[in-house]
Amino acid sequence: MDKEQRDKVFAASYQKTEEGKEQLYNYEKNKVESVDDIANYNSLTKLPILRMFNYKSSEIVKANPDLKYAVIVMDITRFKAVNEFLGRSEGDRLLLFIADCLNKYVEERSFTVAGHMRADTFCLFTAYIDQSELSDICVNIKRRIKNMFNSFRVIISFGICASRDRSPAIPYLKDCATMALSEVKGKYYADYCFFRDEMRTNMLKEKLIESDMMVGLEHGEVIPYIQPKVDMTTGKIIGGEALVRWNKPGEGIKSPAEFIPIIEKTGLIINVDRFMWARIFAYQKRVLDEGRTPLPISVNVSRMHSFEDKLAQRILGMHERYEVPTEYVVLEITESAFALDENNMDDQMKKLRQSGFTISMDDFGSGYSSLNMLRSRELDEVKIDKEFLSDIENPKSRIVIRNLINMLRELNVEMIVEGIETEAQKKFFVDNGCTRAQGFLFYKPMPLDEFDELLKKDS
């Protein structure tokens, strides 16, 4: 399937043809009629659930095709925390109050439907004349919630899709409003966002990359590169870091910046990580079978693994299957990996460390809680972030780095600096006792086989 065909496939899921809209309408109608009426409404708020919301909204559009319509999707940020902190009854009171706010618009505005999509997500369909009406709805709902629940902060975000077409497909409007919502959800500087065409374009690109990456994993397009780590005092290679590359047919090697953020967003990064782990374990096994002594190679553990209960079990399974000692595979994590599910990631890393794996903290110093990570967690190694090097001529920066190195030494934590590109940078770190590094001054990332040949020559 070529790119043009794939674009058509993705676009088809949001078709706005009369035939497509009629199919969507009939589908929703059949779903609504196939269950008891009570099943079409949320048991707590009594608002229509999604299928009934779509059906009732579509009925309005069919009866009044010449009006302009919009869908507003609203979401409560971290609603689970509201329930846990204030209790389920207070959480239910918040949901009922929001339902009441939406019902007021159903009563006051013609051609309006309110819906409750899931626990913390609501939607409002309405006809409009000017888009300012839609933003006013968002502002007024937020103000009412703030006034009612002033003892704690409720963060509400809104996504708005105002259709420019007559007789729009309701699921299409809802999906576009959800895309707009994702632009502001959890952010403090904006409450609402209108859907823009480029959001859909970006979504299609993301879907395309996700689909192509899945194919690439199956067809050998995803390949491990290794950037050697060196002892700066001797120039000897002391290990390496495994970095994913995508050799896409017709396009060549794609930069990780083009696809890593997208596959992290979709969760496909977990599949890519597992593929990379297996490749590194298999390589180290090959080196052992050839009678050579492997050098440690670090592999990345994405923050998305925070939700994986069997992370330690999976990595230990590879260690046993390939019969590779844990000392030859280093696990690199970032502090953001603990932000999503701190307790689970802590438990998983402790199990792996107790089994002999080295835990390395990547990008140390780039986040806000790096020092707290050193205080509260058992780490074997930190990688000093290359951002520290960008301002190394600044006397203040030198003081910070010098004291950071001394602190790590006192804590008995190994250190390695990444991003060394100049002799001046190398000299500064060596003079201050940090001798392990990786960077373009020594080696650029290279295919695994090239790294293996380099090791043979180096030894």
Reply yes or no on whether the pLDDT at 383 is more than 70: yes
pLDDT digits 0-9 by tens, 296-331: 999 999 888 877 888 999 999 999 999 999 999 999
Instruction: Look at residue 16 in the predicted model and tell me its pLDDT.
Output: 46
Is position 1 within any domain? no
Q: Which residues contact 274 (CB under 8 A, 6 or more apart)?
A: 314
Per-residue pLDDT at 164: 77
User: Using one digit for the tens of pLDDT, what is the confidence trace for 64-78?
Assistant: 988 999 999 999 887
Q: Is residue 275 within a helix (H) or strand (E), and if so which, with residue range?
A: helix 269-289
The pLDDT of residue 8: 42
Across 176-262, the runs of DSSP E, i.e. the strands, are 192-194, 222-231, 237-248, 252-254
User: Looking at 138, 171, 199, which one is the last position of a domain?
Assistant: 199
For residues 297 and 393, the model is more confident at 297
Alpha helices, DSSP H, located in 364-447:
370-376, 395-410, 423-431
N-to-C CA span, the chain: 46
Residues 131-151, mean pLDDT to the nearest whole number = 89
Q: At residue 223, what is the residue type?
A: I
Cβ(362)–Cβ(387) under 8 Å?
Answer: no
Residue pair 247/223 in contact (Cβ under 8 Å)? The answer is: yes
Given this model, what pLDDT does residue 21 score?
Answer: 52
- 44 vs 9 pLDDT, higher one: 44
- Are 111 and 145 in the same domain? yes
Is the confidence at residue 17, as pLDDT, over 70? Answer: no
Domain count, the chain: 2
For residue 3, tell me if it sits in a domain: no
Tokens encoding 173: 């409007």
Alpha-carbon distance of 5 to 2, in angstroms, equals: 5
The DSSP element (H or E) to which 79 belongs, if any, is: helix 79-86
* Least confident segment among 99-103, 182-186, 310-314, 450-454: 182-186
Q: What is the mean pLDDT of the chain?
A: 85
Compute the CA torsion angle 62, 65, 68, 71 (nearest 10 deg): 10
Confidence grade of residue 389 (pLDDT, cut at 50, 70, 90): confident
pLDDT for 14? 41
Which residue segment(s) compose the domain that 128 sits in? 12-199
Check whether residue 194 and residue 329 sit in a common domain: no
**Cα of 89 vs its chain's centroid, Å:** 31
262 & 181 share domain:
no
CB-neighbour burial class of residue 323 (10 A; exposed 0-12, middle 13-18, buried 19+): exposed
Query: Residues 238-285: pLDDT tens digits?
Result: 999 999 999 999 899 988 888 998 888 888 899 999 999 999 999 999
